[in-house]
Structure 1
Amino acid sequence: MRVFKSIAGCLFGMIFILGAAQAQQITGRVTDSSGAIVSKAQITITNLETNVTQNTVTTGTGDYTVPYLKPGQFSVTASASGFNTETKTNITLQVSQTVHIDFALKVGAVTETISVSGEQLDKDKADVGEVVENDRVNELPLNGGDLGQLAQLSAGTYYSGSILYVRPFDNSVAAMSINGNAYGSNALLLDGVSNEAAHGDAYNGTNSQQGYIPPVQAVQEFKVVTNPYDAVYGRLQGGAIDMTLKSGTNQIHGSVYEFARRAYLDANSWVNDYNSIAKPSHTRDQYGAELDGPIWIPKIYNGSDKTFFLAQFENWSEIFPGTLVDTVPEPQWSQGDFSDLQYFDSSTGTNKPIILYDPLTTKVANGTPTRQPFPTINGKINQIPTNRLSPYAIALFKLYPAPNSAPRPQTTSYTGNYIAPSPTADTYRNALFKVDQVIGANDRVSLRYGYWERYEFDNQSGIPGEGAYGEYPHGERVNTFTPDWIHTFTPELIFDFKASIIRRVNILNEGPQNFDLTTLGLGPSEISQFGNYGNFVPYTNSSEFTAIGNGGGQYTIGNSLAMLPSVSWTKKSHTIHAGLDLRFLQSGWRYQTGGPNFSVDRTWTQANYQAGDPASGNSIASLLLGTASSGTFTINPTLLFSQHYYAPFIQDDWKIRRNLTLNIGIRYDLNQPPTERHNKFDYTFNPSLTNPISANLTTPVMGGLEFPGVNGAPRSYNTLDTATFQPRVGLSWSPWDTLVVHGGFGIFFQNPNPGPNETGFSATTQYDASNDGGVTPTQNFGVPTAGTSTNPFPTIIQPTGSSLGAETGLGQGLFYLNPQFAVPRTYQYSGGIQQGFGKDSQLELLYSGNRTVNSATSDNINRQSLLLRAQCNPELGGNPNTCNSPTTAYVTNPFFNVNGFQGSNYYTQPTIQQLNLTRPFPQFGDITEYDINGGKNWYNSLQMTATHRVSRSLTVHGTWTWSKEMQSGGYSDQYYRIPSRSIYSNDFTHRVTFSGFWLLPVGRGKMLLKNANRWLDEAVGGWELATIVTWQSGFPWGLNGSTDQNGSANMQRKVTSTTITGVNGACRANWQLVTDPTTGVSSYQLVSQGTNKNCGGDYTFIAIPPYGIQPNVIYTGIRDPGTEEWDMSISKSFNVYERMHLQFRLDAFNVPNHPTFSGGYDNSVTDGTFGQITKSSGQSNQPRNVQLTFKLVW
C-alpha cells in the first residue's frame, strides 16, 4: 500500500508540473535548405477566420508544437535571423488532429507564401479514426438530424439500438459499438471534455448517456476514434466520439432552416399493407436558426479579432405513425363461453379445438396428473359456469377492446385479432449559446450553455383508455454549462482547463395514473396498503395476449461534473502532455416502478398442470377462474448514488526522426465504486454465519445478507480496484510522403455500471397462487362459489432496511454484487497503412483486434441438489415426477407460519418441494452473485476505408469491415456446470458503408455551361446529389433454450446450414412431436416441407425435458437476414447575394422501401412458422420517408 501511495503521489504531482490532451495541434520541424536544424526560429500560427494568433519558438532540435487550437483554417509563418520568412497558408485543422508542417528556410530576406492543399495524412499519431468534416455533416441526408448515423459510417462501428427511432434524443451516439466492444462503452466528448450524463435515466438503461445534444447546424465537425491510444482517453472500453461546435469568426454566419415531413410523401408500413390498413397521418416539423460571428455593439464595443459568439435554437414537433398487431380476448369469454378456441396443428395443416380443463378436478395417480374438461352445454364445448368467474377478472377484462381483425393464419383462433393505431407524439426543443474571448496575448476563454428537453406520449400496448401501457409521458430535460481557459506560460508551456456540468432529469409514467381500483372490486382497506401504487391498473402480463395495465412511474436525476486540467510542454523533439481527468457523478431515483404485477398463463386450464401443450388451456380462462400463475407487489426505495473518478495521465509524442514518431503514454484510473447516501443496498451474502432464524427452526440454517456500513462492512459495492495502470504505445512511420505505417497497443478499463439489489430497502410480497404445489389455485381474485374475496395480497410487506440483518429476504430469491469485483480490462491492438493517391484520395488498410478479460458474469450459489435433479432427468434415466409429484415430491414445510417469512410462499404453504430443501441455504430461493470476473471477449477484424475528396464539389467515402467476435464466461447450465462459450450474439461478418455528395459541374464557372448567363445558371446550376448506403450481414441464429439437436453426445448445440432447413421464405418446415413412452423424451421430426422440395432432408430435434441439461451454445452457419439502408437526397441552391444562398432539398430515407424484421427466424420448433420470419408483428425499420428541407445560409 505504501508503494501504491508513492506512485499515486508522484503521478498526481506531475499533473501540476505538466498537464492533458492537446486536442487539435500543429507541429513541425524547421531546418535550413541543407537539412541542418534551425533552433529558436519564430513560429506564428494564425486563425484565418478570427485573426487570432499564437506564437512559439523552435526547440534545440528545431521542433515546435502549438496545442489547444480550434478546428479551422490556419496559416503558419516561420522566420529566423538570416533566413527568408516563409508562410504556409490554407491549412485545414480538423477535430482531434495533429497537422505536421515542416519548413526548410532559405538564406536571404525574402517573404514567401505557399498555399497548402490536399489531404493531410496523420503522420504523428497512431490513433485510428477519422474526421466527419463540416461538408458531410451538412450535406448528407440525415434521418432526423441524428449525427450518430454519420458516426456509424466509420469502419469497425455499428449501431446496436432500435433502427426504428433515429432522432437526436434517441441516444444513438451512445448506443454505438466500436470494434466489437459493448455498446455504451465509448467516451463521448464535446469540445474535448466529457459529455456523458450520470446514470439517472428513467427509460434508457445503457452504460452511457449523451449529455448535451448539439444540433447539426451548430456542429463544425467530429471525430470517431476507434483505437484511442492517446492516454487522454479513458473510462472506456471501445472508442471515442469527439464533437466540436462552431465558433464565431470575424464575419457573421448563420442559417434558418425547416425539415418537414408529411404523410403524402411517405410509403405505408409493411404491417399496414399486410392488414389492408390505410396509411396513417404523419407530420414532423423540425425548424431552427443558428447565428455566429463577432460580438459588435454599435459605438460601444467591437469584438472583431477578440470576442465571438454562437447562438442556436431548434424546435421539433412530430406525430409519428405506428400500428400494433395485438391479441385481445373475445367478448363472449367474459360470460364463460370459450367454445370457439382453436389451434393450428402443423402436422396435419388443420385447425383443431383447444380444450379447457377444470383445475379443481385435478387428481394425481401414479405420478400422472389428470383433469376433467369443462362441460359441453347445448353442443358448445368449454363452458365455464358464470358463478365460477371472478368479478375482478371480469372488470379487468372489460378494459380490453373488442377484436377488430381476423386472426393470423396458422396460429390460434385469436392470435393477432386486434389492429391498434399507435402514434407517438414528440415535442423537442434545444437552445445553445457560446462565447469565445481572447484576453491579451496569453489567455483565451470560452463559455458555453446548452439546454434541451423533450416530451413523448406513446401507447406501446395499443390498449386504449385506462388499461394502456407506454409513455404517459416520458419527459427529459438537460442543462449543461462548459468553461474552457487556455493560458500560455511560455511558448513551450501552455495550460488548459476544461470542465463540464450536466444535470439530467427524467420523468416517466408508464400509463394513466388516475384509475379507481374499487372498480376491480378492491376495498378501501386493500387499496390503502397500495400506497403510491394505488392509482393505476395493475400490470397483468398474459402469455398469449397483450398485457394490460402499467407499473406506475419514476422520476430520476443525474448530475455530473467533469474537470480536465492539462498542460502541453514542448522539449526538444518531445511534445509532452499530462493532465488529470476528474469526474464527480450523482444519480438518483425518487420514485420507481413497482406495485402489483401479475403473470397469467395456461397452467390452471391445461390438461397437465406440470406440462403444457397446444391443445389445452387458455391464459384468459385461467385469469377468469380467479387467480394468476404468479405475481408480486414491490415497494421500491428512494435512492441517491455518488461516484468519484480520478485519472492522472501523461503522454509523450516523441519525434525520433522527421518521418518517425513514437507515441508513449500511461494512464491510471481510480474508479471509485458507487456509494448510496443512506446505504440502501445489500453488500454481500455471508455463507458462514448462522442465520438468527435458526432459533425458530428445528434445524439450524446458515447464511444471510450483510449491509454496507453495518458491523464494519464498507459503504461501497465493492473494494477499490487499484491495479488499473494503462500503458499505451503507438508508432507512425512515413517512408515517403504519401504512405504512413502505424500500429499501436493499449490497455483500457471499462466503465462499470453496477445495478445493486436493495432487498430490505425494497420489499417484495409474493403472490400466493397455490397452497398445494400448483395442483389447485387459491382463487384469491374473488370467486363466488369459492367464497373468496378480491384480495390478492392479504398482507403487503413493508421495507425493513437493514434492521433484520441476516433475516432479510427470507423465503425469497436474492442477488448481490461480488464485493471483490475488479474492473474489466480490454487490450486493444492494431496495425495498418494509409496510402495517399494524389492530393485528393486516401486508402487505409487496417487490422484491429481486442481482447477483454475479467468481464462480469453471474452464478447461482444456492443450487438445488444435482444428485436429486439427475434422478428427475429423463435424459439420465430419471423421472420428472420424482421432483414434481404433489404426493411424493412435497414434504412438510419447516418454514410454514414462521415469523420472518411473511410475504413469501414459504410462509403460506404447508408443504414445500423437497428439491428446495436440498439447497445449501434452504431458507432462500436462488441466490445469484453478479459481477464475477469470469467473462472474456475477443474480436478480430480487417478494415478498409477509402476517401476521395475534391474541394467542396465531390466527396466519396466507403468502408468495409470483416470481423468475428467470440465470448465466454458463466454457465449454460449452472447445475451441471457446463461453461458457456459461443460466437458473440451481435457478431456480424461483413459491414459495408458508402456515402458521398456531388455538386454537379454544371453552371457558371463549372465544367459544363461555364459561361451561362444568370438566368440559365439559376436553372441548371447549384444542383447536388448525396447518398448514404449501409449493408450489414446478419447476426447468428440458434435454437431456443428448450430445444437441442438430437444425438448431441457432448451436449453442445450445433446448428449448421444443412441441419436446419426452411430458413428462407420459400421453405416451410413442419415438425411433429414424437414422445418415447419409456423415457419421456420428445423429439420433433420433419414431416412436410411445403411445396419447395429444395429445403433439405429429414432431421430430428430433442425437446429438452424438465430437469434436462442445457447445452452450451455453438452457432455455426446460419444467420438471420442482413440489414440494408439506402438514403439519398437531391438539392438545388439559389444565390440570394454574394454570401447568402437558399437551398431546397428532397431527402428520401429507405429509398427502395425494404422492410427489416429484426426478430429473425422463428426458433421454436413447436410453431407452424418454425424457420420462418414472422412478419405480421411489423417491421423494425421505417418505411420510405421523404423529407422536404429548406435552408437559408449566409
Structure 2
Amino acid sequence: MSKKAPFALRAVVCLIAASLAPAQETRGSIIGRVVDASGAIIPGVTIHAVNLATNVSISGESNAEGNFEIPYLLPGEYRITAEQTGFKSFRRDGVEVRIGERVSIPIRMELGQVSEQITVTAETPLLESAGANLGQVIDQRRIAELPIAHGNPFLLMTLSPGVSYTQNPGLDRPFEPTHIVGYAMGGVRANRSEITLDGAPNTALNHRWGAGDLMAGYTPPSDVVHEFKVQTATFDASIGHTQGGVTSVTLKSGGNSLHGTAYYSLLNPVLNANLFFANSAGQPKGHFIYNRWGTSATGPVYIPKLYNGKDRTFFTYGYEGIHESRAMGAAYGAGTLTVPTARQREGDFSELLAVGSRYQIYDPATRVALGTGRYQSQPFPNNIIPSNRINPIARNILNYYSLPNVPGTADGTNNLIRVNDPEVIKYFNHIGRVDHNIGANNRMFVRFNTYKRFSHSSDWFRSAPTGGYSDWKQHSFSIDDVHNLSATTFMNVRYSFFRLSIYQYPQPASIGFDLASLGFPRSYTDAIDPGVRAFPAISISGYSGTQNNWWRYPTHNQSLEGNVTSIKGNHTLRFGADARQYRNFQYEPHNASSGIFAFGNTWTLGPFDNSVAAPIGQGLASMLLGLPTSGGVDRKASFAAQSTIVSAYVQDDWRITPKLIVNLGLRYELEGAMTERFNRTVRGYDFSTPSPLEAQVRANYAAHPIAELPANEFRLIGGLTFPGVGSQPRALWNRDTNNIMPRAGFAYTLDQKTVIRGGFGIYFGPLGAQRGDVIQLGFSQRTEFVPTLDNGLTFIADLSNPFPNGIQEPPGAADGLLTYVGRSARFFEESPQAPRQQRWQLGVQRELPQRVLMEVAYLGNYGDSLELTRDLRALPTEYLSRSPFRDNAHINYMTQQVPNPFYPLLPGTGLSGQNVSRSYLLAGPQYSQFTGLTSTSYEGYSWYHAMQVRTERRFAAGWSVNAAYTWSKSMEAIGQLNGYLSPLEYAISTQDRPHRFVISGLWELPFGRGKRLLNAAPTVVDKVVGGWQVQGIYTAQSGPPIGFGNVLYMGDIHDITLPPGERTVARWFNTQGFDRVPANQLSFNYRTFPSRLNDVRADGVNSWDLSVLKNTRIHERVNAQFRGEFLNAFNHPMFNAPNTSPTSTAFGQVTSQRGYPRRIQLMLKLIF
C-alpha cells in the first residue's frame, strides 16, 4: 500500500487484521443470571432493556449457564423484561445505568404463562460487584446545579477521591485546555491522564506549554453533559493511552420529549471581593466585566410532513458564549511585579545603598585584570550612573515600562500591582449530537463540536507595542456504531477526528514595529523582515520583563477504534485493537525575530568578577549602560510532526461463582516513533565519533593545560545527529516494543451489602507526549549577542550596535557534527522507554442505611522509566567543595579565567572569547564544544500510597451528599542535587498533597407544594416559599512542598515550619537559621540541603463554593430558575509559595495569591 494512503484507510486495514477494536467505554451494561424459583439456571431467556426516555429496546439472551449481559447502554433509566415459554414474564422498572458501570440485575422467574407477569420493585444496586476499578460518577444533577465557575463541568473532577488539582486555580475557564486537566490522579503527575468524550479521545499532546503534558481538547457546556466518571485506578485492559486515570464524559442523547434550557449569567464586579494584596495596599478592585449565555435542547428529530423521529432518531444541541474583560492580575494570580523607579531610570540607585552595601553598582569601564585570572571593578560614586553614560536605546525602552504604584519591599521589589491590565476574551462554543436507532440490532450516533476563542491581552506595560492577541479554533467529529451480531455477541466501531489551532500574535500596532524608533541602527533593523518586526523581548535581572509571542500551533488527532463483546458460559469476553494518529505543527518564525536581550549583573557586580550579585539593581544598571549579558536574534523553522499508536487487548470477566467475579486482561500498545515531514530536527547525539574540532582544539589546549586535566586526556566527542542524514533513520527515536500491560482484578460479594474488590495493572504513557517538542537546532538558530572577547576589559558590541557582523542564517543539518557548537544544545535519548506505572488497590464497599454507599480503599502506585533531564556538562562532584560554608578559595580557583582552547575557532558564539573559567573545562570536557549539553533520559521513578474514602448518597427525598477524603504520600526521584553523575534525589514530590477532603451536597428546602411543609399553600404563597434549593462544595487540601536552593542553613530543618497560628504572609516559615548575608552564600559547594522539605509547604486550599437557587413554574412545562453562586464564598485567599531566596528582602514572605477572591455569579435560566 502506498505510504500516501489516507490514514483512515490504513487504520481500517490494521483493524481488520487485528479483528475489531476497543474503546474507552462511556456507556453501561446490565448483567445478571436467570434462575427459576428453585435456583436452577434457565438458558435461552430473552431479556429486553428499554430506555425509558427513548423507548428504544435492546435485547440479549441468557446462555447455557443462565448468564446474560446487555452492553453499550446509554446512561439513564431502563425497564428490564424477560420472557421464556413456560414461565411468567418478568419486569423490573427504574433500573439506573450509570456511565461505565455494569449493573447486576438477578432475574428469578416462576412457572406460568408468558401473559402473566412478575413485577419486581427494587432499588438499583449501589455496590459495584462486577469489577475492581476505583472511580466516582458525577451525576447530571450535580453538573447542572452545583456552583462551578463558568459552568465548566471538568472542575467537578475533584469531587472524586485520589484526585488533586495542582495548577493555578485562577485558570478555570472552559477554554484553558492545559489547566482544566491539571489534576494529579492516583499518584501520577498532573496532565498525564486521559479524557474521553462519548468514548472518543478528548486530549491532545501539549508540545507548546509542557513536555509530557496532555491538554483537554474540548469542554462541553454543562447543560448538555449527562454525567461523567472519574476513574483513578482502572484494571480493565480496554483502557489505555494513559499513565494515570481516565475521565469519561457522556453527553445527553435526546428522548421522545423535548427538553431544553436558555440562560444568562453575569459576575458583578461590585459584588466581587478584591485581591488580597491589592486590598492590603489600598488599591481598588481591578477591572472586571463578565457575561455568559447559552442554550440547549434535546428531543426527537421532527421535520413536519417529512419525518417523525419518535422512538427512533434524537438530537442534542448546545451553545454557549462568554464575553469577559478582566484584570490580568486577577486572571493569573500574578498580582505583583517589579518595575524600575523613576530615579532608577535616570541612573540613580542611591536609595538602594540605604538598604545595604550589597546593592552597590560597579562601573564596567573601570574593570582591570589582576593577573590571577580575576577581574576587578570600581563602584559608581553614591551608586549613581552619570547621565551621559546612559544608553539612549535603554532609555527609550524603559519609557514603555509602567511606573510603580505601591512601595513594595525594602529594596523596591513587588512595587507594581496589576489591577487594571485588561484581558478581553470572546468565546463561542457549539456542540451537537444525533442518535439514530437503525433497527432492533443496530444503532449509531454522530457528534460534532467546535469552539472559537478570541482574546486580547495587554501586558503590564499598558502600551500598544507589547500587547497581544490569541485566536483559538477547535473542531472535532465522532461517529459511533453498535451492532448486535447475535443475542450474546455485540460489536462497536468508532471513528473520531480532532483539530485545535492556536494562533498567538502581537497587537497590530506592534507588527512592523519600527525598531529604529528605539534607536537601533539601520544595519540591524534592515536585516529583519518588515513583516515580522516587533518590540524586542527584554529581560532584566530582578525586574519583570517583556516577551513577544508570535506563533501558530495546530494539532490534529484521529482515531479508529471499536469493541467486540461476547458472552460465553461464565465468561464475558472483549477483545480488539485501536489506531490513533497524532499530528502536531508549529510555525513561529517571529519569536525573538526582532531581538531578545537579557541584562544580568555580570558587568556591574563587584568588586571582583566572582563577587556575590545584588538581589536587584545591577541588571538594570547594565541595561542603562547598554550592555546586555546575552541576547540574540532568532531565525526559526516550522515543523510538522507525526506519530501513531496501534494497540490490541483481550479482556475476560469471569464469573467463577455467583459471589466472585475475576477480571483478567492483557493489553499491548505499539507506538510508532515520531517523524518530522522534512527531517527538520535533531535525532540524537553521536557518542562514538571524535568532534571535527578535536585536533585543533587539543593542540590549543596542549599549549595551556590545567592541572586537573592532562593534555593527553583531553578529548572532544561527537555532536548532534539528524534524521535521514548518513545512516540515521527518519524516525526520531528507536521505538519501544515492550509495552505489554497485564491487568487483573476481582470483586467478591461478601453479603448483600458488602463487596471486597482489588486489582493490579501496568500502564504505559505515550512517548510522543514525553518529547515535549521537536528540537530544531541548526534549522532554527540564534545569532548570539557577543559583547566582549576579553571578559569585559573591552566591549565589541552593545545596544547601539548589537550585531556588528550581521545576522546569521540557519545551516540546517549541513554542518553535521559541528552543528550548534559554541552554543547550548540538547537532545533526546535515541532508545527511550515509555514511562510505566504499576498500580494496585484493595478496598471494601459497604451499603449503609439511607442507601448511602461507603468505600474505603488502599491504592498504591510505582512509576519507573520516568522522564528527567541529564546535564552532561555538570561539574563532577569531586570538584565541589565539601565545606559546609562558602569556600572563597575554592570559588576563586574554579572561576579563575584560563586560556580558551576554542579561541578563535568559533566566532560569534559563546566560545568566541579569549578565556574561559577553569570550571568550564572540568565540566564534561569531552562535550565542551557546547556551552551546555542536556539530554532527556528515562531513569526516574516514583512511589505513591494512599487511603481513599468516599461516601455517596444519590439524590432522593430532596437531598444528596457526596464526600471524599484522600490521605496520601507521593515520593519521586526525577532530579539530582549535584549534577550528572550524582545519584537521583529521592524526595517528596512536587505533586504531593497529603490530605484532601471534599464534600458536595444538594438540598431542596421542604417548603411549598409537593413538599413536607406548606404543601397545600395557596398559589401566591407557593410562588414565594416553594422551589428553593441550596447546594455547595467545600474543599480542603494540603499545600505543595516548597522548594529551596542550595542555601546555607545552620539549624534543625524541623524548626523551619511554623505552627499554623504563627504563619503569616510576612513570615510564612521560620527564617532563623538561614545565613542571609550575600557574601556568605554557597557556590561550588556539594549540596546536602534537600530540594524540598515535607513539612514546609505553601498555602493549601480552604474554599467554600455555595449557591442558592429558586425554581418558579411559569407554564405547565416551563420553569424559571434564578440562582446566585458564591465562589470562594468566605473569601479565603490561596497564596502563592513564599520567597525562598535568603538574600532577598522578601525572604520568607508571600507576595501574591493564586486564583480568585470571592466571586458572585448571578444567573437566570429557563428550563423546559
Q: Please, what TM-score do these two structures have when normalized by structure 1?
A: 0.89
CA distance in 1, matches of 2:804, 2:55: 74
SS at match of 1:107: coil
Compute the displacement of 1:778 (Å): 4.5
- Deviation of 1:777 after TM superposition, in Å, equals 4.9
Where do 1:781-800 residues align within 5 Å?
A: 781-782=799-800, 790-792=801-803, 794-800=805-811
Say whether the 8 Å CA contact 2:875–2:979 is kept in structure 1: no
- The equivalences for 1:888-927 within 5 A come to 889-891=897-899, 893-898=900-905, 901-907=906-912, 909-918=913-922, 919-921=924-926, 923-927=928-932
Equivalences for 1:677-1076 in 2 at 5 Å?
677-694=677-694, 697=697, 699=699, 701-752=716-767, 753=769, 754=771, 755-774=773-792, 777-778=795-796, 780-782=798-800, 790-792=801-803, 794-838=805-849, 840-864=851-875, 878-885=889-896, 889-891=897-899, 893-898=900-905, 901-907=906-912, 909-918=913-922, 919-921=924-926, 923-951=928-956, 953-974=958-979, 977-1038=982-1043, 1040-1046=1044-1050, 1057=1057, 1064=1064
Aligned residue identity for 1:82: G
Residue pair 1:583, 1:644 contacting (<8 A) in 2 also: yes
Q: Quick one: structure 1 residues 1043 and 775, their matched pair in 2 at CA, closer, same or farther if it must change by over 3 Å?
A: farther
Kindly report the root-mean-square deviation, in angstroms, between the aligned alpha carbons of the 2 structures. Answer: 2.9
The more displaced of 230-239 and 508-517 is: 508-517
Q: Which of 553, 557, 573 is 1:576 aligned to?
A: 573
Does 664-673 or 919-928 show the bigger shift? 919-928
- Counterpart of 2:400 in structure 1 is 399
1:1077 corresponding residue in structure 2: none
CA distance in 2, matches of 1:1193, 1:9: 43
Correspondence for 2:517 among 516, 519, 544: 519
Match of 2:430 in 1: 431
- Per the TM alignment, residue 927 of structure 1 is displaced from its structure 2 partner at its CA by 5.0
Q: SS at the partner of 2:911?
A: helix
Distance apart, 1:959 and its partner CA? 0.9
SS in 1 for 2:493: strand
Q: Is 281-290 or 605-614 further displaced after alignment?
A: 605-614
Q: How many pairs align? A: 1124
Does the 8 Å CA contact 1:1041/1:1110 hold for their aligned counterparts? no
Q: Spell out, residue by residue over 1:1061-1088, the C-alpha distance to the aligned partner (whole angstroms, 9 max, x if none).
A: 9854585999799xxxxxxxx9459xxx
Partner of 2:47: 43
Which residue does 1:3 correspond to in 2? none
Shift of 1:922: 5.2
Q: 2:587 matched to 1:590?
A: yes
Counterpart of 1:968, as a letter, is A
- Partner Cα distance (1:1072, 1:441) in 2: 76
Mapped contact 1:1057–1:1117 kept (Cα < 8 A) = yes
- Give the superposition deviation at 1:637: 1.1
CA distance, structure 2, for counterparts of residue 67 and residue 15 of structure 1 = 22
Q: CA deviation at 1:223?
A: 0.5
Which shifted more, 264-273 or 90-99?
264-273
- After superposition, the C-alpha distances for 1:468-501 in whole angstroms (9 at most, x for unaligned) are 35xx112211011110111111111111111210
1:1008 to 1:112, Cα distance in 2 relative to 1, 3 A: same
Task: Tell me how far 1:235 sits from its aligned partner.
Answer: 1.0
Percent of paired sites with the same residue: 27
Aligned match of 1:648: 648
Letter of the 2:173 partner, please give it. R
Residue matched to 1:1132: 1110
> Alpha-carbon deviations, 1:737-790, whole Å to 9, x = none?
1111100000000223203421111112222133223566555223xxxxxxx2
* Inter-partner Cα distance in structure 2 for 1:1068 and 1:241: 36
TM-superposition CA deviations, 1:381-407 (whole Å, max 9, x none): 33433332222212212222344x342
Are the counterparts in 2 of residues 225 and 241 from structure 1 also a CA contact under 8 Å? yes
Is the Cα–Cα contact under 8 Å of residues 876 and 981 in structure 2 kept in the other structure? Answer: no
Deviation of 1:910 after TM superposition, in Å, equals: 2.4
Letter in 2 for 1:463: F
Q: Say whether residues 1:188 and 2:195 are aligned partners.
A: yes
8 Å CA contact 2:12, 2:560 repeated in 1: no
* Residue 678 of structure 1, CA deviation: 1.0
Aligned: 1:382 with 2:383: yes
Paired with 2:943 and 2:745, the residues of 1 have a C-alpha distance of: 21
The correspondence of residues 258-273 of structure 1 with structure 2, limited to 5 A, is 258-273=264-279
- Mean Cα deviation higher: 29-38 or 873-882: 873-882
Looking at structure 2, the residues matched to 466 and 823 of structure 1 have their Cα atoms a distance apart, in angstroms, of 45
Tell me, yes or no, if the aligned pair for 1:795 and 1:903 is still in contact at 8 Å.
no
Q: How big is the shift at 1:545?
A: 2.1
Task: Determine if contact 1:981/1:1114 at 8 Å carries over to the other structure.
Answer: no
Distance 2:402 2:579 in 1: 54
Query: Cα offset for 1:1168?
Result: 3.6
Q: For the Cα contact (< 8 Å) 2:1071–2:1148, is it kept in 1?
A: no
Residues 535, 466 of structure 1: CA spacing in aligned structure 2 closer, same or farther, 3 A cutoff? Answer: farther
Q: Residue 762 and residue 9 in structure 1: after superposition, are their counterparts in 2 closer, same or farther (change >3 A)?
A: closer
Q: Name the aligned partner's letter for residue 438 of structure 2.
A: I
User: Is 2:511–2:531's contact at 8 Å kept on the other side of the alignment?
Assistant: no
Secondary structure, aligned partner of 1:801: coil
User: Pick from 1129, 1143, 1152: which aligns with 1:1166?
Assistant: 1143
Q: Is 1:315 aligned with 2:316?
A: no
Moved more, 662-671 or 272-281: 272-281
User: Does the 8 A contact of 2:859 with 2:947 survive in 1?
Assistant: yes
- In structure 2, the residue corresponding to 1:37 is in which secondary structure? coil
In structure 2, runs of 5+ residues without a counterpart are: 1-10, 330-334, 700-714
Contact 2:910 2:931 in 1 (8 A): no
Unaligned stretches of 5+ in structure 1?
1-7, 346-351, 376-380, 783-789, 1074-1081, 1086-1099
Q: Is the 8 A contact 2:976 2:982 kept in 1?
A: yes
Aligned partner of 1:1183 among 1118, 1137, 1157: 1157
Q: Relative to 1, partners in 2 of residues 1:1111 and 1:382: Cα closer, same or farther, differing over 3 Å? A: closer
Q: How does 1:63-102 map to 2 (within 5 A)?
A: 63-102=67-106
Please tell me whether the aligned partners of residues 15 and 566 of structure 1 are also in contact (alpha carbons under 8 angstroms).
Answer: no
Structure 1 position 454 matched with structure 2 position 453: yes
Name the CA shift for 1:235/1:21 in 2 (closer, same or farther; >3 Å): closer
Equivalent residue in structure 2 for 1:122, among 125, 128, 131: 128
Q: Is the partner of 1:987 in helix, strand or coil? A: coil
SS in 1 for 2:1042: coil
Task: Tell whether the 8 Å contact from 1:594 to 1:636 is kept in structure 2 after alignment.
Answer: no
Question: Which deviates more from structure 2 when the two are superposed, residues 47-56 or residues 204-213?
Answer: 204-213
1:1105 aligns with 2:1104: no
- Partners in 2 of 1:821 and 1:991 — Cα distance? 35
- Are the counterparts in 1 of residues 285 and 419 from structure 2 also a CA contact under 8 Å? no
Provide the C-alpha distance between the structure 2 equivalents of 1:372 and 1:39, rounded to a whole number of angstroms. Answer: 98
Contact 1:432 1:449 in 2 (8 A): yes
- Give the Cα–Cα distance (whole angstroms) in 1 for the partners of residues 91 and 1088 of structure 2: 71
Please identify, of 1018-1027 and 851-860, the stretch whose mean Cα deviation from structure 2 is larger.
Answer: 851-860
Q: Take 1:875 and 1:408, find their aligned partners in 2: how far apart are those partners? A: 30
Check the 8 A contact 1:945/1:959 in 2, yes or no: yes
Q: CA deviation at 1:60?
A: 0.3
How far apart are 1:964 and its partner, in Å? Answer: 0.2
Query: Structure 1 residues 318, 359: CA separation in 2 closer, same or farther (over 3 Å shift)?
Result: same
Distance 2:17 2:650 in 1: 8
TM-score (norm 2): 0.91
**Mean Cα deviation higher: 693-702 or 440-449:** 693-702
How far did residue 21 of structure 1 move? 6.1
Shift of 1:836: 0.6
CA 1:602–1:1115 in 2, change beyond 3 Å: closer, same or farther?
same
Determine the C-alpha separation between the residues in 2 that align with 1:452 and 1:998. Answer: 34
Asked whether the 8 Å contact 1:860–1:926 carries over to 2, the reply is no
**Partner residue of 1:500?**
496
Which of 357, 367, 374 lines up with 1:362 in the alignment? 367
**Does the 8 Å contact 2:480/2:495 carry over to 1?**
yes
How far apart, in 2, do the equivalents of 1:990 and 1:135 lie? 27
**8 A contact 1:634–1:764 mirrored in 2:** yes
